Chains A and B, each alone.
Chain A
Amino acid sequence: MDFRVIKAEKITETVKELLMDCNYNIGSDITNALEKAKETEKSEVGRQVLCQLIENNKIAHDEQVPLCQDTGMVVLFVQYGDKVVIDGGSFKNAVTEGVRQAYKEGYLRKSVVNDPVFDRINTRDNTPAIIHTEIVPGEKIVITAGGKGFGSENMSAIKMLTPSYGAEGVIDFVLDTVRKAGPNPCPPMVVGVGIGGTFEKAAQLAKKATFRSIETSNPDPRYAEMEQQLLDRINKMGFGPAGLGGTTTALGVNIETYPTHIAGMPVAVNICCHAARHKTAAI
């Protein structure tokens, strides 16, 4: 059996760099979409807001400061090659140390509390992270890391639809979720939709969808068509940039799917603000 040894420090360093990078430097997909929206937005106030967001992202990049003060709870999607052995510590500890270093040394806000209901004491280093790990064949570790802000996270929803709802039922639920969110999640937003699997799988797919470039489409043309249709219909709602009215309510809609049970059709909608922060690295 051949194995590849990866040092724990290398994982720590990679996670740290990804988190600082994603908080300072918004992806080119978002920048391109904001620039395009600035040309097409019908509201004057909306155009002003889009210009401010473009300027904001430029300041963050130039000064290497977070583009939003809510630098989020850390979410990682990890593809872990089954030939990898870690030297000098566990994978989880290496990741946790990367989060700790990024949030301390990178001047990122610590937004995590230790207990959801009773204590609610800030852990002061933004740990722990949410880690989604998939074991894959190979000798690499591929990490996609992001900070998820909760202004938009709180506007997300899941529904256990059943098969007879069909495509229309999915579309209605996504639109209802966005309509209820209104001006709250910092539009223009990115909408991640997870369809299929089980209750928790759908939610995870929805998060994964927000971590995909908005310049990509679902490989299945039927879902790609649904993504475009949802985007067009959301932008007809009128909320606009910052919810102050306009024709740019969303920048992109991404759908991820998975096989599901004969009795089910779970749909999860994960809303992300315009600061859709995620970066990927392979070790």
Chain B
Amino acid sequence: MKKINLPITDEDIENLKAGDSVLLTGTMITGRDAAHKRLYELAQKGEDFPVDINGEIIYYVGPAPAKPGHAVGPAGPTSSYRMDKYAPTLLDMGLKGMIGKGARNQEVIDAIVRNHGIYFAAIGGAAALISKSIKSDELICYDDLGTESIRRYTVEDFPCIVVIDCKGNNIYETEPKKYCTE
């Protein structure tokens, strides 16, 4: 298990390999379908973003509401492929990495390699467990989107696994083949 501080450095990205289990500590931003659509449309019009994505890791999440006394509600990853249309643009504009679950298309993998980025998977459906590592939650923008707003999470030992590394190695492609007996 490797411990990584956020914001992530280029050196850390260089050293992380697909398949590495990591614990992330520091801050990350959140965003999913509706927020991505808005950012993408701003990018196409050449307008400024209401959030600075430069050097950031974005977590694809739409949390459940927090119970009183909890920093955040259950907050597991959502399926990443729905952001595939938007992710290459954001990576080209300075986003460093993404946390989600599930496969990415070739355009995203190419954009990861081109920008020396990284893609992590958190465990889908482990939302109550993952929320234990999220220590604070602050709204950045798009409050009207409710659970889909863009927020800043401060995390401590947030568990995830490197799925696509900066060289384009992808364990969703390589690992299942080792166990395939069809």
Contact = CB atoms under 8 A, between A and B. Distances in A.
Interface stretch (A13-21, A160-168, A180-188, A211-219): A180-188
B73 A42 contact: no
Interface in A60-115: 60, 63, 65-71, 107-111
A262 to B, nearest CB: 34
A189 to B, nearest CB: 10
24 contacts: A42-B179, A45-B161, A56-B130, A65-B131, A66-B73, A68-B76, A69-B76, A70-B62, A70-B78, A71-B64, A107-B64, A107-B66, A111-B62, A151-B124, A186-B124, A233-B182, A237-B176, A237-B182, A238-B175, A242-B101, A242-B121, A244-B171, A245-B177, A246-B176
A154 B125 CA distance: 15
Contacts of A70: 62, 76, 78, 127
A69 B64 contact: yes
A243 B172 contact: yes
Interface string B6-40: 00000000000001010000000000001000000
B125 A275 contact: yes
- For the complex, would chain A's binding face be called helix, strand, loop or mixed by DSSP majority? loop
Given A56-B129, A65-B64, 6 more contacts: A52-B123, A66-B73, A111-B147, A243-B176, A245-B176, A246-B175
Interface of A: 42-43, 45, 48-49, 52-53, 55-57, 59-60, 63, 65-71, 107-111, 120, 122, 124, 151, 154, 182-184, 186, 233, 236-240, 242-247, 273-275
Contact of B181 (A69, A120, A236): A236
B123 A49 contact: yes
Contact of A151 (B74, B79, B161, B172): B79
A70 B159 CA distance: 19
